[in-house]
Chain A
Amino acid sequence: MSILRRATRFRELPVLLGLVVVYLGTGFLNPIFFSVSILNDIFFGVAIVATLAIAQTFVIVMRHIDLSVGSVVGLTSFLIGDLSSRGFSLLAVLFAALLVGATVGAVNGFLVGYLGLPSLVVTLATLYIVRGIFNEVGKGQTIVESMVPKELNWLGLNRLFGISYLFVIVVVLMLIAGVLMQRTRAARDLYAIGSNPSAAGLVGIPVKLRVLAAFTATGAISGLAGAVMLARFNSSSTQSGLGLELLVVAACVVGGVSIAGGTGSVFGAVTGAVLLQTILMAIGALGIPQFWQLAVNGSLIIAAIGLDRYLSTRLRSTNIMGASS
């Protein structure tokens, strides 16, 4: 088997390499970068996007997209703080967050799966609607530290073997999701749906149901991610989560979860998120003004899409003149 083919089988290779290169390269130019505190910052700061990226993977491998995640996570981070300050238990508020997220996800999933509407438009609309409702409900209020459940506060401040608990949560989630994506029929169906949407129905996959389930799952996790957000910032307002969806999609694409669907892993998504976060820190460490961050992210996504496209066209067969494989 050619090297090209083997390399492309390991989709996460480019992003891992990228991560290594960026980390080592930056550290080489500025050895302070190799410090433990930088590592802590990376893992701490990446938690929210990484969690959302894991969830987004379910949807992107089906060749769909969920742009409403930013609005949802902002809303639930606010909700958790608000309900908690009214005396509800941690479990209750987490459940509420999950429910809210799952509901939005289910609406998305129904519209996309059963009515066949384009996911871009649907999740764009729910992005609007959720943000609008959120702004109205949370008007002028802010969730402050005293309102944050103490468990979340604790998770945000402490570390397990030097790594923030928030990232530990990400890792655990990634492992569970990873196993599910690799080893359950329902998840494998998601990949089939994204790889060849028209054929998926014909081979007996319950496409509509899977789409509904995937979007609901994404919504649910995004809802729970509100807890992570609250733990991370110790505050929340109606500005929370604004614009996050872009970062999340970027993390996935960069991490090898192809926007064309059918391929990619939660491991790649998390690595993509870590890469983006590392670049953010690297920009600072290299003395480049922070203002370059967004432009760099944008260029990265273009590069990732281009690479993805290049690899897939290279492997397409043409042959009329003699058989080949």
Chain B
Amino acid sequence: MTKLTIPKVVFSWDKGVVLFLVLSIFIGSYASEYFATASNLSFVIASIAEIAIIAIAMAYLIISGEIDLSVASIMALTSASIGYAFQEGVPFEIAVVLGLLVGLLAGLFNGVLVTIFGLPSLAVTIATLALFRGLCWVILENKPVNQLPREWIDLGNKNIPGTFFPWATILVVLFAGIAWFVLHHTKLGRWVFAIGTNPVASRFSGIPVNRVKLGLFVFTGFMSAVAGVIYTLRFASASPDGGAGYELSVIAAVLFGGVAIAGGVGTMWGVLAAVLSLGVIKSGLQLAGFSANALLVVSGGLLLISVILPRVTEFVRIQRSKASTIKRTQQKEKERVQK
């Protein structure tokens, strides 16, 4: 088999997440009669669209061994740019393009600081989280933009005619499909995994590590921008504190989806299943009468589980192999002495 030897834990992990998803759906339908309705499912999908899109890029980034905590701020910055531009009379279509560009540049900024200046991505993106969010306040002050074109708002809120899928679903499916393909079947995907597994050996194998990482940061910025567009349309408003805290949901989803925080391991399936699970759980909790706080606690719990579990299984594995090695060597020495 030419499969990359990924520890067994992960193979069962993303199957586990899919299982979890299915389970949650069952429990959800059981918990509330409104759960399995078309309008609710539509709502669930709409509510996770932005997170899904950012998580796709974040998965790549974390697999490569980096992280970006500023994604929610980039999302908001995009939103702010669109709102501001539109308010200043720029046609909405152009404003959207502008917003996407802003996201790209923000990602580039992060990427340059990490790859060219060699600063640690965790610290840098905590700083840019503040910087980009701060720029939102500078642009919009505390005057959110609420007058947005009708057709666009509809696009952000209505479903594809005849289905219960919001329009944004198309984007999610498209990006997810491409991302899955690239990650698991192309050279670039292999590179990303290799870089996360061993960046030194990657350099020594002719992989342009810095170029790839820079590209991933730009990609993350872009996807955050796309999410920002969707967010703006869905809430029909561009405001400086939009999407606050989203980065935590994204990271929680990515980690729960089986991507190791240390990098080198993960699947797109797992991440998407995790994102959906979170949406399902959120909806289920809401319908069952729990407040939004329950979701916070559950998200936190899932995040912990996704890091504790691999550690525990790894520990068990090591203990088992240690025991067998000790047994073997004792046996060997016994035989030798007997000879």
Touching in the complex, A and B, CB below 8 A? yes
Partner of B132, one of A117, A259, A298: A298
Which of A118, A135, A302 meets B131, CB within 8 Å?
A: A302
Report the interface size class on chain B.
Answer: 35 or more
| Interface check B141, CB cutoff 8 A | yes
Give the chain A neighbours of B117 by CB distance below 8 A. 306, 309
User: Does residue A139 face the partner (Cβ distance < 8 Å to B)?
Assistant: yes
When C-beta atoms are compared, the residue in chain B nearest to A294 turns out to be B134
Q: A132-B297, A305-B119 are in contact. Are A122 and B307 (CB under 8 A)?
A: yes
Query: Hey, which chain B residues are within 8 Å of A296, CB to CB?
Result: 134
B186 at the binding interface (Cβ < 8 Å):
no
Assess whether B137 is in contact with A125, with CB atoms less than 8 Å apart: no
B41 at the interface (CB under 8 A from A): no
Within 8 A of B (CB), among A185-225: none
Q: Are A298 and B130 in contact (CB under 8 A)?
A: yes
Q: Is the CB of A125 within 8 A of B311?
A: no
Given contacts A136-B294, A294-B130, contact A115 B311 (CB under 8 A): yes
Query: Quick check: is B177 within 8 A (CB to CB) of the other chain?
Result: no
Are A259 and B120 closer than 8 Å at their CB atoms?
yes
Chain B residues closer than 8 Å to A128, beta-carbon distance: 248, 252, 296-297, 299-300, 303
- In the complex, the chain A residue whose C-beta lies closest to that of B117 is A306
A131 at the interface (CB under 8 A from B): yes
Pick the contact of B129 from A111, A136, A246 — CB < 8 Å? A246
- Indicate if the CB atoms of A129 and B127 lie closer than 8 Å: no
Q: Which of B127, B291, B293 contacts A301 (CB 8 A)?
A: B127
Of the stretches A7-15, A151-159, A285-293, the one at the interface is A285-293
Chain B residues with CB under 8 A of A117: 304, 307-308, 311
A118 CA / B261 CA spacing, docked (Å): 8
A297 to B252, CA, bound (A): 26
Cross-chain contact A253 with B123 (CB below 8 angstroms): yes
Contact of A250 among B67, B130, B304 (CB under 8 A): B130
Interface residues of chain B: helix, strand, loop or mixed (majority): helix
Chain A residues lying within 8 Å of B244, measured Cβ to Cβ, are 243
Decide if B128 is an interface residue (CB 8 Å cutoff): yes
Contact status A132-B134, CB under 8 Å: no
Chain A residues in 8 Å Cβ range of B261: 118, 120-121
Q: Which one of B119, B132, B307 lies within 8 Å of A121 (CB-CB)?
A: B307
CB contact between A302 and one of B113, B118, B252 (< 8 Å): that residue: B113
Nearest chain A residue, comparing its CB with the CB of B251: A124
Question: Could you tell me the distance in whole angstroms from the C-beta of A250 to the nearest C-beta in chain B?
Answer: 7
B31 is an interface residue with CB less than 8 A from chain A:
no
Give the complex CA separation of A209 and B168 in angstroms: 49
A100 at the interface (CB under 8 A from B): no
Known interface pairs A129-B301, A132-B300, A259-B123; A295-B128 also in contact (CB < 8 Å): no
With contact pairs A301-B126, A302-B124 given, residues A135 and B134 touching in the complex (Cβ less than 8 Å): no
Of the candidates A111, A116, A253, A295, the one whose C-beta lies within 8 Å of that of B137 is A295
Q: Of A124, A295, A302, which one neighbours B135 at CB under 8 angstroms?
A: A295
B residues 282-339 touching A (CB-CB < 8 Å): 291-301, 303-304, 307-308, 311
For A100-128 the 0/1 string (1 means CB < 8 A from B) is: 00000000000100011110111011111
B299 to chain A, nearest CB (A): 5
A sample of 22 cross-chain residue pairs with beta-carbon separation below 8 angstroms, ordered by A number, consists of A115-B311, A117-B311, A118-B261, A121-B251, A121-B261, A122-B304, A124-B252, A135-B291, A136-B294, A136-B297, A243-B244, A259-B120, A292-B134, A294-B133, A295-B135, A297-B130, A297-B131, A298-B128, A298-B134, A301-B123, A301-B127, A305-B127
Q: Can you name 16 extra interface pairs (CB under 8 A) apart from A116-B311, A120-B122, A313-B118?
A: A118-B262, A120-B67, A121-B255, A124-B251, A124-B252, A128-B297, A128-B300, A131-B293, A250-B127, A259-B122, A298-B130, A301-B123, A301-B127, A302-B124, A302-B128, A306-B117
Can you list the 8 inter-chain pairs with the closest CB atoms, starting with the nearest? A295-B134, A298-B131, A128-B300, A294-B134, A132-B296, A298-B130, A132-B297, A301-B127
